[in-house]
Amino acid sequence: MNHIKILFFTLFVSLAPNYICFAGDSVRGQHFEVFYDGLNKGYAEQALKNSENSYNIISEALGHSLEKNISIILTSSDKHFQQLTRDAIPEWSAAVTLNNNSIIVSPLAGQKRNLSRILAHEIVHIVINDAVREKFVPRWFHEGCAQNLSGEWRVRDRLYMVWKVTRGKLLTFEDIQNVFSSERIDAALAYDQSMLAIRQFMYENGQDALPSVIGSMKKGNDFATAFWETSGLWPSEFEKDYLDIIRRKYGRRSLYSLIPGTWTLILLIAAIVYVVKRRRNKRLMRQWEIVEAAEKIIRFEDYSGSP
């Protein structure tokens, strides 16, 4: 596994009809059709299997099923990827969702082993958006669900969280909402905190908490009201509680339970993790400067987290 955690983003682009009708060889499953023109059929079959397995887990976890099939296009070259996305996004992108019914995957040079996670992440976004339609869902909830259902939480991630807690650098929900429009915000930390927020929300309210929120929104409620109906807290109240929990759970004393060894080793590892994450964050922010300027990107709206 790469030492650099993959971070994802989803672009919802309105394209002409001919751009969402894909030709070439394909394999079809119950919910997905995978196009693989120019690639090995076995690779496409693996992508299909991973997607179907992930969808079943995601659909149950979120309490919503898709009534439409999703097209997954595995591109064989950067040129092919850029053609399908009309050059609207940078070539380094791992995957992009179009019109909430198609996922276009880049060639993933050196990252093919992460294909399952990449597809799972995109599927989460599609399922949530299909369920709530045009209603606003804050970025921390969107990305927290996607990371929780597709990501990992390893020792080095915990160490990085300890580092941020001890330095007083935790992000608010507003920070996370604006993570890709400010160079001062740690993108990696935003994803990690979003996942921890979702895990805390589920711990406090049970495994049905996510489908409860989404089900309430399907009935017409906005996100804040749906969140309150499920938890008895407004998002702003939950935010305060969960930040306090993170500070307690990932304070300095937590290092004793994370890894064995001396304080020297602990601090050395923490320093290494910090440097790696800092470099990754700088690269992400440079990339997102391009994304924010790209055409046809639908931005998240501002969200106060209060009724």
Same domain, 152 and 277: yes
pLDDT at 157: 84
Same domain, 102 and 150: no
Q: Which residue range(s) make up the domain with 71?
A: 17-132
Rounded CA gap, 284 and 9, in Å?
A: 11
More confident: 152 or 193: 193
pLDDT at 257: 59
Rounded CA gap, 201 and 173, in Å?
A: 14
**pLDDT tens profile 102-125:** 898 988 776 778 889 999 999 999
Q: Which of these three, 100, 132, 164, is where a domain ends?
A: 132
Residue matched to tokens 């969702």: 97
pLDDT at 153: 80
3-state SS assignment for residue 126:
helix
Same domain, 38 and 160: no
Same domain, 152 and 181: yes
Same domain, 190 and 281: yes
Q: Point out the least confidently predicted range of 72-76, 114-118, 275-279.
A: 275-279
The region that residue 220 occupies, defined by phi over 0 for left and psi between -120 and 50 for alpha, beta otherwise, is left
Same domain, 146 and 268: yes
Same domain, 289 and 153: yes
Q: What is the CATH number of the domain that holds 94?
A: 3.30.2010.30
Q: Which amino acid is at 156?
A: R
Crossing angle of helices 155-166 and 235-249, in 10° steps, is 100
Phi first, then psi, for residue 261 (nearest 5°) are 115, -175
Q: Which of these three, 80, 115, 132, is where a domain ends?
A: 132
pLDDT at 31: 95
Strand spans (E) along 228-277 = none
The verdict on residue 67 lying in a domain is yes
Same domain, 111 and 148: no
The CA-atom distances, in angstroms, between 164 and each of 77, 253, 261, 265 are 38, 14, 21, 18
- The answer to whether the beta carbons of residues 51 and 15 sit under 8 Å apart is no
pLDDT band at 287 (very low <50, low <70, confident <90, very high): very low
Question: Over 80: is that where the pLDDT of 100 sits?
Answer: no
Q: Which of these three, 132, 160, 186, is where a domain ends?
A: 132
End-to-end CA distance of the chain: 42
Q: Which amino acid is at 181?
A: S
Report pTM. Answer: 0.76
Same domain, 62 and 170: no
Same domain, 92 and 171: no
The verdict on residue 7 lying in a domain is no
Q: What mean pLDDT comes out for the span 214-236? A: 97
Rounded CA gap, 40 and 149, in Å?
A: 27
Same domain, 173 and 105: no
